Structure 1
Amino acid sequence: MYRPKSTVEQWRIFQAVVDYGGYAQAAEKLNKSQSSLNHAVAKLQQALGLALLEVRGRKACLTPQGEVFLRRSRKLTQDVESLERLADILSSGWEPVLRIVVEASLPRAPLYQALAEFRPRSRGCRIHLVETQPSGCQTVISQQAANLVFASRAYPNITSLPLATTVYVPVCAPDHPLAALAEVGQTELEQQLELVLADGNEQEEGWARGEQRWIINHLHDALSLLRRGVGFAWLPLDVVSPMIHDGILVRLNMANQALRKRFTHLILPGTTPPGPAASLLLSLIRQHYDGHEEPGNTP
């Protein structure tokens, strides 16, 4: 088993002697005797078999080897300080990890904004962001396997917060046959392939679906297929608006078709109140969803 030849305290003293320009100055700053600092550095050099410092007059100067070890030792002491701070953070109840599950069909720009603001205040908390389907959300909630779940429906006896209403619009590629029609009815839609961003339970939403349909698990896959002229899809308006503006996708002009909407619910599956990290992220999420507006919600 490996046994260290040096201690963190020896490296801290070595750094202090360099930073303050000598043993006497470092001893005064550290409130230690000069002899104890001399002894610590001498013992460190003896253990390594290398000269890290050489005294020129009254000043301690780095040797070439000392310059290398100074850079590496700073990372060592910083890592130790980070570990000690982490212990303080975790002992205060701050969560080391937050697991967030998002239903695939829901837009999440406000969530990304909240996470961007959470990062500098996260105090080392790691984020696991997972995309899943409605059935996956249900499993995660029943097993209490996440801190926060974004789902398109609420669940009985589970704490949930309504966040936003998302408008879904039909889109296709500019060269798709539907794009050439001045007005599109349900009959025309039923004759074309539909890409359904769901897990097969789409009938529960009350959205009429055509016989020709592919079930797509991820929004990225649906967009990639649409851009290649494969089928049409009902997708979140705030996601596809930039693509419509740039001419990458075309929004179909529906005849006598009401807007399709989905709600975003924030589910808290746990039976205990969220911890301090989750509470902070939760407040940022609510702030950004409250200020989020759908672009062009008119048909």
Structure 2
Amino acid sequence: MNRAKSTLEQWRIIQSVVDFGGYAQAAEKLNKSQSSLNHAVAKLQNQLGIQLLEVRGRKAYLTEQGEVLLRRSRHLTQSVDELEQLASNLGQGWEPNLTIAREIIYPMHFLVDALKAFLPDSRGTRVTVIDSVISGTNELIDGNKVDLAICGVPPKGHIAEPLCESELYLVCPPNHPLTHCGIVADERELAQHLQVVIKETSINKAADTGWLKSEQRWTVSNFHEAKNVLLSGIGFCWAPAYLVEDDIKNGSLVRLILKGSKSRKIQLSLIIPNRDSQGPASKLLESMILTQHEISHYHGV
């Protein structure tokens, strides 16, 4: 049997160098010396007889061959991580911690009610809820960083259980110039005004999504901050209906009807990133979330 020329640790190091933007940044994140990372990558390249990285300035860049091998290596290290996690779950039984990714347009009251139902049988499990946005949610799923995830467009290769539809309204303050012709907004006119958008939570820069044609944009972390900007009297924003309906009713905000698009509707789904390693606590909480949407739970707990 031929002995492997490389180790998982070497591949994890080169992944970190690429993901964090250089040797110095990766060394800080991994709590290792920069020289040890340089040595590990140099040894790997020597063992394989191929250059994976080239340094330009202070940043390391993948070669064409490096891109191909790094992509394959991610599948390998992820498979090993999943195998080790499965062994850990089988050994420990009930999970002491659960992490949930929640796409921020998902109504929080559904999740709160599910967690309240989960609490009496949770056996002290600590729960962390991460508010995530678009590709940031998918990044957490693909990286197996969470136990459960509620997302919009599911990443490829994952089975999703549809939960509900979230409707987004186009809103602005009542004194905004866009309200001068009633509640209908023209797309070209809309593009001339300040748009308030929500920052994606992905580590790796993702392509812009949604309606982003305004030249002037302010980016904030969540819809509560976006609403505060609007209530101060400036900007427009696509915001979840459940979050702004009361403000529309009391006149604090005005709903605009964009020609050709009365509203935006996004399907939200529940994903278990790694079903094979799902523990009993995660299965129970999954059933509680599905119950909130009157969906039968088919997996044994």
Q: Does 1:221 align with 2:192?
A: no
Superposition map of 1:65-214 within 5 A: 93-182=93-182, 183-199=184-200, 203-205=208-210, 207=211, 209-214=213-218
Residue 223 of structure 1 deviates from its aligned partner by: 1.2
Paired residue type of 1:222: A
Q: Which residue of 2 aligns with 1:69?
A: none
- TM-score (ref. length: structure 2): 0.60
Check whether the contact 2:178–2:185 (CA below 8 A) recurs between aligned residues.
yes
**Matched-pair contact (CA < 8 Å) for 1:185–1:256:** no
- Separation in 2 of the partners of 1:151 and 1:230? 30
Q: Is the 8 A contact 2:185 2:258 kept in 1?
A: yes
Larger Rg: 1
Give the drift of 1:134.
2.6
The answer for the alignment partner of 2:265 in structure 1 is: 261
Q: Secondary structure, in 3 states, of the residue corresponding to 1:154?
A: coil
Q: CA deviation at 1:149?
A: 1.2
Please tell me the residue identity of whatever aligns with 2:248. I
> Distance in 2 between the 1:284 and 1:136 partners?
24
CA distance in 2, matches of 1:131, 1:125: 19
Q: CA deviation at 1:128?
A: 0.6
Q: Which runs of 5+ in 1 are unaligned?
A: 1-89, 292-299
Which amino acid counterpart does residue 283 of structure 1 have in structure 2?
S
SS of corresponding position for 2:282: helix
Q: For the structure 1 residues 131 and 208, does the alpha-carbon distance in structure 2 shift closer, same or farther, using more than 3 Å as the test?
A: closer
Residue 98 (structure 1) shift: 0.8
Instruction: Give, in angstroms, the shift of residue 146 of structure 1.
Output: 0.7
Residue by residue over 1:180-218, the C-alpha shift from the partner in whole angstroms, topping out at 9 and shown as x without a partner, is 43122212211211112243857544x463222223221
Cα distance in 2 for residues equivalent to 1:240 and 1:108: 14
3-state SS, counterpart of residue 276 of structure 2:
coil
Query: Partner letter of residue 198 of structure 2?
Result: L
| Residue 236 of structure 1: aligned partner | 240
Gap change, CA 1:250 and 1:290, over 3 Å in 2: farther
TM value normalised by structure 1: 0.60
Distance 1:254 1:140 in 2: 33
Q: How far did 1:234 drift?
A: 0.7
Q: Which amino acid aligns with 1:195?
A: V
Alignment root-mean-square deviation, CA: 2.5
3-state SS of 2:99 partner: strand
Query: After the TM superposition, which of the residue ranges 219-228 and 183-192 deviates more from structure 2?
Result: 183-192
Q: Describe the SS at the equivalent of 2:179.
A: helix
Map of 1:81 onto structure 2: none
1:245 is the counterpart of 2:249: yes
Cα distance in 1 for partners of 2:167, 2:133 equals 19
Partner of 2:58: none
Deviation by residue 1:50-100 (Cα, 9 ceiling, x = unmatched):
xxxxxxxxxxxxxxxxxxxxxxxxxxxxxxxxxxxxxxxx98822111101
- Consecutive unaligned residues of structure 2, counting only runs of 5 or more, are 1-89, 296-301
Distance in 1 separating the partners of 2:130 and 2:282: 16
